[in-house]
Amino acid sequence: MPKMTPFDRVMTTIRGQLPDRVPVIPQITYATAQLTGLGLVEALHSAPKTAAALLAGQRELGYDAVYVGWESSFNLLAEAMGCTMRFPENDLPQVAEHVVRSPNDLDKVKMPDPHSTARLPLRMETVKLVKQKTQGRVPLFGYVPGPFTLAGQLCGVTQLMIATLRNPQFVHDLTQLATTASVAYAKAIVEAGIDVTVAADPTASASLISPQMFATFAAPALRTVLHAAETAGAVPSLHICGQTTPILEAMCSTGTCILEVDHLVDLSKAKQLVGQRVTLLGNINSTDTLLKGSPKTVTEAAKFCIHQAAAGGRFILSSGCDVPAATPLANIRAMVAAAQRYGRYD
Ligand SMILES: [Zn+2]
């Protein structure tokens, strides 16, 4: 039988069938700057430089997909919707001033066009460049802002949290604006070549809000975004950081095909609860194991994840969250080697 391409391996898994082995996809973007000798910041304003680093990562480290990102989609959209950014010399940009400073500011929020507003076209160009080079052999994952978290970028997380108690209508209205922007962005990146849209919603984590609040404020908007992405032709995935065990069922009800779970989630428990309905993706500790650990500890952690969740398929070995910029690439190599060695189905 001919060797499976990474694309076939990942899509076979998502369909619930058994591939040749467990796919391995670290959530790595800017850490690939190490391979091209470019700093985090130098690549920030150049689609060809970003694409070159992302492609070098997949080619040289051998994992099964490319997360086409660098700066977060939250930042890109927050700026495009009217927030002021600060650009530190040695770090990724941050929101300097929120566009919404009181409930009366909702009309100050701009509705961006992904093809022309602020730095959004740069991301579209990066996706197209990576697609041209990978030609469908490797699937492309692309982050899309979870509307609840994007709302927090627009008004400040503290203000958002207070408003969930004192002014829920404001939260709904702002999240609605964020949803509209996120849907347009999702459609545009799918059109540019993204195969799997990853709605990221870190502020909706059960580490931060109750399951009841998740159901009220975050889940309906996620459902809208993921449905739009799927209609546009992509596989929907949902990424929520931190502890999400209490909301695993609710996360599934957003219609996602993939659940990206962080290291705080017990994978075997997640497998038992929702492993028949979705593909689980996770969950080696990004900081303690990938950033600070050694190839040996990474191998052990990868084996443990495989042991917990690989049986019967529907599992992708990954980091729990973003791979930090300074992560030793030897650790990523160890992770890939572990999937190749211990994740075989045949
Ligand atoms: Zn995360």
Reported as a single tens digit per residue, the pLDDT across 4-54 is: 999 999 999 999 999 999 999 999 999 999 999 888 888 888 999 999 999
Task: Name residue 168's amino acid.
Answer: P
For residue 67, report the distance from its CA to the centre of ligand 1, in Å: 13
Q: Kindly report the three-state secondary structure assignment for every residue of 75-127.
A: HHHHHHCCCEEECCCCCCCEEEECCCCCHHHHHHCCCCCCCCCCCHHHHHHHH
User: What distances in angstroms separate CA 72 from CA 6, 44, 200, 264, 310, one per listed residue?
Assistant: 25, 11, 10, 22, 30
DSSP character at residue 202: G
Distance CA 146, CA 201 (A): 4
Which neighbouring-strand residues pair with 178?
none
C-alpha closest to that of 244 among 222, 225, 224, 267: 267
For residue 71, report the distance from its CA to the centre of ligand 1, in Å: 14
CB of 250 within 8 A of CB of 285?
no
Distance CA 9, CA 175 (A): 36
Helix 47-61 × helix 120-134 angle, to 10°: 40
For residue 282, report the distance from its CA to the centre of ligand 1, in Å: 10
For residue 141, report the distance from its CA to the centre of ligand 1, in Å: 14
For residue 336, report the distance from its CA to the centre of ligand 1, in Å: 20
- Name the helix (H) or strand (E) containing 317: strand 315-319
For residue 157, report the distance from its CA to the centre of ligand 1, in Å: 16
Please state whether beta strands 94-97 and 84-86 pair in parallel, antiparallel, or not at all (unpaired).
Answer: antiparallel
Distance CA 285, CA 298 (A): 9
For residue 346, report the distance from its CA to the centre of ligand 1, in Å: 32
For residue 27, report the distance from its CA to the centre of ligand 1, in Å: 9
Distance CA 142, CA 122 (A): 14
Distance CA 55, CA 61 (A): 10
For residue 3, report the distance from its CA to the centre of ligand 1, in Å: 32
DSSP character at residue 340: H
For residue 243, report the distance from its CA to the centre of ligand 1, in Å: 10
pLDDT at 2: 59
For residue 286, report the distance from its CA to the centre of ligand 1, in Å: 9
For residue 262, report the distance from its CA to the centre of ligand 1, in Å: 6
- pLDDT higher than threshold 90 for residue 250: yes
Structure-token pair, residue 168: 């829920």
For residue 1, report the distance from its CA to the centre of ligand 1, in Å: 37
Task: Name residue 223's amino acid.
Answer: R
Structure-token pair, residue 98: 């929120």
Name the band, by pLDDT with cuts 50, 70 and 90, for residue 339: very high
CB of 346 within 8 A of CB of 61?
no
What is the CA 121 to chain-centroid distance, rounded? Answer: 19
For residue 251, report the distance from its CA to the centre of ligand 1, in Å: 14
For residue 280, report the distance from its CA to the centre of ligand 1, in Å: 14
Name the band, by pLDDT with cuts 50, 70 and 90, for residue 225: very high
pLDDT at 38: 81
For residue 240, report the distance from its CA to the centre of ligand 1, in Å: 6
Name the band, by pLDDT with cuts 50, 70 and 90, for residue 1: low
pLDDT at 194: 98
Q: What are phi and psi of 237, to 5 degrees?
A: -130, 155
Which neighbouring-strand residues pair with 86?
94
CB of 315 within 8 A of CB of 270?
no
pLDDT at 37: 83
For residue 313, report the distance from its CA to the centre of ligand 1, in Å: 23
C-alpha closest to that of 241 among 143, 172, 140: 143
User: Across residues 307-316, what is the average pLDDT?
Assistant: 98
